[in-house]
Amino acid sequence: MEVKGIITAMVTPFDNNQNIDGNATRQLVNKLINSGVSGIFILGTNGEFHLVTNDEKVAFAKVVIDEVNKRVPVYVGTGGNSTREAVALSQKMEELGADALSVITPYFLVPSQREVLQHYTAIAEAVSIPVVLYNIPKHTGINLEPETVKELAKIKNIVAIKDSSGKLDNMEKYIKVTAEEEFAVLSGSDSLILPALKIGAAGAIAATSNLIPEIDVSIYEYFIKGELEKAAKAQQEIEVLRAVLKLGTVPSILKKAVQLSGIPVGPARLPVAEPGEEVIGKIREVLEYYQGREIKFHC
């Protein structure tokens, strides 16, 4: 499995009772695949992994894996603070048929780099499928240091890192220290898709592609073709959505936008509140903007 292209950091659809909505999940999966994404990444930050029980994670992963049906790789988030729990969940997801795992660094307790190295090594050794490291220091309080990533990249089934630090120089360091390994660096910051590709990243795990996958995919495709001016224009286009995403707690704005576009992904799980009417008005303006650019929504 080659890790590359635009992989959607998919939201987790809920019904109005805040239970996982299987039908909406299948709708969203098919929209994304039909739009040309290179993979589906579930149970990440925008997938509200931190608000979903392990039993729900398993049930949700079953639906996604079944619906995707090997059309694209499915990356499943299995990280947590407890190494034992992360190992058990990772093994379960492998059993279900996940193509790869994504493992966020432990959070809240802020472990040392040595402890993180041990944590990831134990998880990788417990499964046979690929493992993608997930670095998001803004929310975890810890940055995976390049030297740690260099050591982890030597482990056969640790194949990539999603870097959501928002720092291009951080990604560049990862690319340099893993140059001798079969290891992919992916941008986890949608604003840096094209800049990351230019310095050697293999692609991006992009939340904005829940709503505008065609635009995100075009950034990658234009870059591969060497059409950098078109790639830059597409990169700029996603800023219209990113500006409104800042008006609420993740992923409330994104889910409302997807819902208003025609796929009933429901609200974020409490305590995250739904956006108010003023913000909803701004979301509708964003949808109108993209509809004017012939982005096909389901509404």
Amino acid 140: pLDDT: 95
278 in a domain, yes or no? no
Residue 42 contacts residue 74 (beta carbons within 8 Å): yes
Q: Is pLDDT above 60 for 298?
A: no
When pLDDT is averaged across residues 16-42 and rounded to a whole number, the result is 97
Amino acid 295: pLDDT: 64
Q: How far is Cα 4 from Cα 220, in angstroms, rounded to an integer?
A: 9
Q: How far is Cα 234 from Cα 215, in angstroms, rounded to an integer?
A: 6
294 in a domain, yes or no? no
Residue 212 contacts residue 188 (beta carbons within 8 Å): no
Amino acid 1: pLDDT: 84
CA–CA distances in Å: residue 15 to residues 58, 199, 292: 18, 41, 30
When pLDDT is averaged across residues 248-267 and rounded to a whole number, the result is 97
Structure tokens at 225: 């073709």
Amino acid 292: pLDDT: 79
Q: How far is Cα 257 from Cα 262, in angstroms, rounded to an integer?
A: 9
Over residues 119-176, the pLDDT tens digits come to: 999 999 999 999 999 999 999 999 999 999 999 999 999 999 999 999 999 999 999 9
Long-range contacts, 180-187 (Cβ 8 Å, 24+): 181/153, 181/154, 183/153, 183/158, 183/159, 184/3, 184/4, 184/159, 184/160, 185/160, 185/161, 186/3, 186/7, 186/132, 186/160, 186/161, 186/162, 187/162, 187/163
**Across the chain, which distance is largest between two alpha carbons, in Å?**
52
Q: What is the mean pLDDT of the chain?
A: 96
Q: Is pLDDT above 50 for 257?
A: yes
Q: How many other C-beta atoms are found inside a 10 Å radius of the C-beta of residue 286?
A: 21
Tell me the torsion sign for CA atoms 62, 216, 51, 16.
Answer: negative
Rounded percentage of the chain residues whose pLDDT exceeds 90: 96
Q: Is pLDDT above 80 for 297?
A: no
Q: How many other C-beta atoms are found inside a 10 Å radius of the C-beta of residue 220?
A: 24
Q: 299 falls in which pLDDT band (50, 70, 90)?
A: very low
233 in a domain, yes or no? no
Q: Is pLDDT above 80 for 294?
A: no
Query: Which ranges constitute the DSSP H helices of the chain?
Result: 22-34, 54-68, 83-96, 113-126, 137-140, 146-152, 168-177, 193-198, 213-225, 228-237, 239-245, 252-260, 277-291
Lowest mean pLDDT among 86-95, 173-182, 284-293: 284-293
Amino acid 218: pLDDT: 97
Q: Which residues contact 230 (CB under 8 A, 6 or more apart)?
A: 218, 222
190 in a domain, yes or no? yes
269 in a domain, yes or no? no
Q: Is pLDDT above 80 for 248?
A: yes
297 in a domain, yes or no? no
Identify which of 9, 45, 30 has the alpha carbon closest to the alpha carbon of residue 216: 9
Q: 60 falls in which pLDDT band (50, 70, 90)?
A: very high
130: CATH: 3.20.20.70
Identify which of 286, 258, 225, 178 has the alpha carbon closest to the alpha carbon of residue 9: 258
Q: How far is Cα 163 from Cα 140, in angstroms, rounded to an integer?
A: 12
239 in a domain, yes or no? no
Over residues 220-245, the pLDDT tens digits come to: 999 999 999 999 999 999 999 999 99
Q: How far is Cα 156 from Cα 129, in angstroms, rounded to an integer?
A: 10
Identify which of 144, 43, 47 has the alpha carbon closest to the alpha carbon of residue 86: 43
Domain around 219 = 5-228
Instruction: Provide the number of structural domains found in the chain.
Output: 1
79 in a domain, yes or no? yes
Enumerate the active-site residues. 134, 162
When pLDDT is averaged across residues 44-60 and rounded to a whole number, the result is 97
* Residue 268 dihedral angles phi and psi, to the nearest 5°: -70, 160
Q: Is pLDDT above 80 for 293?
A: no
The angle that helices 83-96 and 54-68 make with each other, rounded to 10 degrees, is 30
When pLDDT is averaged across residues 190-207 and rounded to a whole number, the result is 98
> How many angstroms from the chain centroid is the CA of residue 202?
14
